[in-house]
């Protein structure tokens, strides 16, 4: 499982001109599910998202987590995070999980974060979405449950 986590002051996602999710301060999370991902992969990503200490404390140091600041998450499923562009110019997506599996893990990740009392807004799985955000910092963190990077 892979995630791109961006610290934001605000973010939103819309489908066909209708807003499906919007947050203030927190994280914009793009989530890609890989073939064979399981509970441990999902928990690794979610624990990192909940606990990443990238928000500034009173001294201006990145020392606070999403939970510390009472932030929110906007989570959008994005299979293209599993794109392999090492050969040629057209990425291969064969490592991405099939849609049914990916959606199930995506929904479990959303629920896991909500169980930690983190407000989570979402996009629409497999929809053509427009995502807007204001990256704060900018701060962007890449996560991979298989620790490829």
CA distances from 126 to 48, 67, 96, 143 (A): 25, 29, 13, 22
What does each C-alpha distance from 59 to 56, 65, 112, 144 come to in angstroms? 7, 15, 31, 30
CB within 8 A of 93, min separation 6: which ones? Answer: 79, 80, 82, 83, 84
Cα distance between residue 11 and residue 114, in whole Å: 18
Active-site residue (options: 6, 34, 78, 122):
78
20 is catalytic: no
Residue 80 is among the residues annotated as catalytic for this protein:
yes
- Looking at residue 81, the DSSP 8-state letter turns out to be G
Query: What does the DSSP 8-state code read for residue 68?
Result: H
The reply to whether 6 belongs to the active site is no
Helix (H, G, I), strand (E, B) or coil at 123: coil
Catalytic residue among 47, 80, 130, 140: 80
Residues with catalytic function: 78-80
């Amino acid at each position: 499982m892979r995630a791109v986590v961006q610290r934001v002051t605000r973010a939103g996602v819309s489908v066909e001109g209708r807003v499906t999710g919007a947050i203030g301060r927190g994280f914009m999370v793009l989530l890609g599910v890989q073939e064979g991902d399981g509970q441990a992969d999902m928990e690794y990503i979610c624990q990192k998202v909940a606990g990443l200490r990238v928000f500034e404390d009173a001294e201006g140091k990145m020392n606070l987590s999403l939970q510390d600041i009472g932030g929110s998450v906007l989570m959008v499923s994005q299979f293209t995070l599993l794109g392999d562009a090492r050969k040629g110019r057209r990425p291969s997506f064969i490592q991405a999980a099939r849609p049914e599996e990916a959606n199930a893990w995506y929904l479990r990740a959303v629920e896991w974060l909500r169980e930690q009392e983190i407000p989570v807004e979402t996009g629409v799985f497999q929809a053509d979405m427009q995502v807007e955000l204001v990256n704060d910092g900018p701060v962007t963190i890449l996560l991979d449950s298989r620790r490829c990077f």
